[in-house]
Structure 1
Amino acid sequence: MNLTSLLTHRHPWSSRPCLNRLVRLGTGLKDRLVTRHTNVFIQQRREQTSQVHGERPALVVPLSWAATTATVPFANLGDALSPVIVSALSGLPVMHHHFDARTERLTCVGSIGHQVKHGTIHLWGTGARARPLLKPPSQHWNRLVQTHYCVHALRGPLSAQLFQQQGLDIPDVYGDPVWFLPAIVPPAPEKKYELGIIVHLSELNGGTDRSTVNERFLRYHIPDALASQVRIITTITRPSFDALEEKLHEITACKRIASTSLHGLVLAETYRIPCVYFRTQGRGVAFPHLKDETERIDLRMRDFYRGIGSETLFVYGQPRPRPTNWEHLIQAIDTHWIPIHWSAESFLERFPLPLAFNPLIEQLGDRTRFQSLQL
């Protein structure tokens, strides 16, 4: 079997030019896909630590994600999961590349598809935050001539439409890579809270892991009698794997989840925790249709849930200035939540690197490589 046939057999969608550049290179342990370019998709480099002379260079995956910086020293949960998931699935370490790096690189978790530019960008599970259905493309995002996009799969059809408006060929396969996290990070060993409330960054009074919800938002007020049962959870974490795992255990220690954060919902769904979109408009339970543009639904939620085949979204409306009836919210989740039955095989097949393990049938063993990740 020649190279083209081999790639087409492994990935039927690999007839695209961006994937025909891939060749196989032995690593001494297994064959992995790399590119012929100087700025390669899986880069060869020697570790800076001492090595035996003549040892084969290490392979590293170049990845763009919203990483921490000197001025933004705390990580956002969804963004920080990107390097963990790519490293776990590929079995390789990752190296951070800026959104405007002139290199060949991968993007994964997050609404960053409209922000990355220059070089060759491989997108898998990536979303975009623009409003393709409501505005002409020229008003929110234009494809850069000097950027080559290789779209393997996007988060959902709204992200896909944004790229299609720029003349790009988009596969009809969607998903969020966070879906595979239970095979990488086991849930908390026990349930501690009746309800976890995951709040979006925009609802906090700061940008640290100690930031609290804006005190003007009375809907988050928890009476003393329920303080040990209802847990407010932010998506901000210290930039280490241990801190990230601690945050995931805080979430999975909840029996139910109400969230204004997309990845709060994705995490709840994939860990099979009953959950609801905690909308700031309306009152009580509703099931708006995801294709109804008159409904006020966060575009990221709309994008993800439509991508996995849902037609409606379970929401619980509660205006920010009004206190929440937590018992009623818990009862609503128990009554109306239905587990998602989504087959992720096609989405996993679009992962543009060979899999080190299959998260659909295996549990990741050694996670020591994550300790060195700078999120």
Structure 2
Amino acid sequence: MEFTHPVRRRARRIREVLAAAVVPPMWRSGVLIPAFWWDGHPNFGDAMTPWLLPRYGVVPLHRRVAEARLIGVGSILEFVPHDYSGAVWGSGLMEERTHPLTAARFLAVRGHHTRDLVGAPADTPLGDPGILVARHLPRPRLRWEVGVVPHGHHRGNAELARLVARGGARVRVINVHQGAAAAVREIASCSVIFSSSLHGLVTADSYGIPATWTLLDPPLGGGDFKFRDYESAATPGRSRYLEFDDRLTADDVVRLGRRADADIIASLGDGLAEAIDRLRATAGELGRYPLGLLHMRADRDVRRSP
């Protein structure tokens, strides 16, 4: 059964709602909000929206963009119509093209480039929400020297496979198709990260792990834009891009890995966390968890009836 099959989608939604029940912030004043994030294939970066927000007392309920009141983590703003009037939290564009969202309420966006291209106010907080993961998952013991985090499209890249094979047991390939917490733990168990996945880089920065990023075949939509956008906020004025060729070794990755500035990452994280507090003030009346689930379900049924 495919990932996008309605039965599997429904099962994911149920797991997300149930998982929120064990998160302490939900016990006191948890709220529900219809939200959009990419759910077209398994990817730990896309799964950060339903994993992170309950830790701040918010359960996002996946909806089509037209029904959403919050846009979450990922390069997804091209999917958002120009007249969207809900909230945006840490999202980014995929392509380096103007996409004005003049009616949106910007809690945060991923980087300076996205902020300019969507027309967000100059004081909009910046950063990818994945920066927050280290605040909620303690770093495990180190198990591997090098963590390689290929984008899902790059898992079969032959040159990358040769680098991994030459590195032997010291190198771990992290599967981005697993859940958010599992992938984050594996990344955090490495001394250095080499990534063609943006959230491999973001997770490394959250834990203060030296990292580099690269571009591989097949090319990704938007090229390097999302990396440049993120680094405009996380490592302003410098890039950790490492051009890939078949001579690259695990030793090179270790030698060339660089940390983001811890103070900058902490400041971006503070802004993203504080932005969630503003969500309650800007999103209008929100249903309470868990009883609000019944009201939201009833409301959807009414809107779908003939």
Name the counterpart of 1:41.
none
Alignment partner of 1:173 is 2:125: yes
Larger radius of gyration: 1
Alignment partner of 1:61 is 2:38: no
* 2:167 and 2:249 in contact (8 A); partners too: no
- Residues 92 and 265 (structure 1 numbering): CA distance in 2 closer, same or farther, change over 3 Å? same
Cα drift, residue 159 of structure 1: 0.8
Cα drift, residue 338 of structure 1: 5.5
Distance 1:174 1:224 in 2: 38
- Residues 115 and 223 (structure 1 numbering): CA distance in 2 closer, same or farther, change over 3 Å? closer
Distance 1:254 1:224 in 2: 17
Partner amino acid for 2:113?
A: L
Seq. identity, %: 23
Which stretches in structure 2 are left out of the alignment for 5+ residues?
Answer: 1-17, 19-29, 282-306
Partner amino acid for 1:303?
A: D
Cα drift, residue 225 of structure 1: 6.4
Alignment partner of 1:349 is 2:274: yes
Question: Residue 85 of structure 2: SS of its match in structure 1?
Answer: strand
Normalising by structure 1, we get a TM-score of: 0.58
Name the counterpart of 1:326.
250
Name the counterpart of 2:302.
none
- Residues 257 and 116 (structure 1 numbering): CA distance in 2 closer, same or farther, change over 3 Å? same
Cα drift, residue 151 of structure 1: 1.4
Cα drift, residue 331 of structure 1: 2.3
Question: Residue 212 of structure 2: SS of its match in structure 1?
Answer: strand
Name the counterpart of 2:85.
120
Partner amino acid for 1:108?
A: G
- Residues 309 and 315 (structure 1 numbering): CA distance in 2 closer, same or farther, change over 3 Å? closer
Q: Deviations over 1:295-348 (max 9, x none)?
A: x971111111112351011222213xx253222222222xx5464431233443
Distance 2:131 2:164 in 1: 34
Normalising by structure 2, we get a TM-score of: 0.70
Name the counterpart of 1:79.
46
- Residues 108 and 338 (structure 1 numbering): CA distance in 2 closer, same or farther, change over 3 Å? closer
Alignment partner of 1:278 is 2:250: no
Name the counterpart of 2:184.
248
| 1:198-217 to 2 correspondences below 5 Å | 198-204=149-155, 213-214=156-157, 217=158
Distance 1:326 1:84 in 2: 32
Alignment partner of 1:315 is 2:241: yes
Which stretches in structure 1 are left out of the alignment for 5+ residues?
Answer: 1-46, 48-57, 205-212, 238-242, 282-295, 356-375
Partner amino acid for 1:341?
A: D
Cα drift, residue 244 of structure 1: 3.2
More helix by share: 2
- Residues 337 and 150 (structure 1 numbering): CA distance in 2 closer, same or farther, change over 3 Å? closer
More strand by share: 1
Distance 1:308 1:249 in 2: 21
Q: Deviations over 1:102-122 (max 9, x none)?
A: x5x111211111212365320
C-alpha RMSD of matched pairs (Å): 3.0
Cα drift, residue 223 of structure 1: 6.5
Distance 1:297 1:230 in 2: 26
Distance 1:148 1:263 in 2: 28
Distance 1:111 1:187 in 2: 26
- Choose the corresponding residue for 1:130, options 88, 95, 109: 95
Distance 1:314 1:224 in 2: 23
Cα drift, residue 174 of structure 1: 0.9
Cα drift, residue 260 of structure 1: 1.0
Bigger relative contact order, structure 1 or 2, given CA contacts below 8 A and separation 6+?
2
Distance 2:32 2:89 in 1: 17
Partner amino acid for 2:171?
A: V
4+ residue runs over 6 A deviation: none
- Choose the corresponding residue for 1:233, options 174, 186, 196: 174
Distance 1:220 1:161 in 2: 38
Alignment partner of 1:93 is 2:93: no
* 1:198 and 1:233 in contact (8 A); partners too: yes
Question: Residue 85 of structure 1: SS of its match in structure 2?
Answer: helix
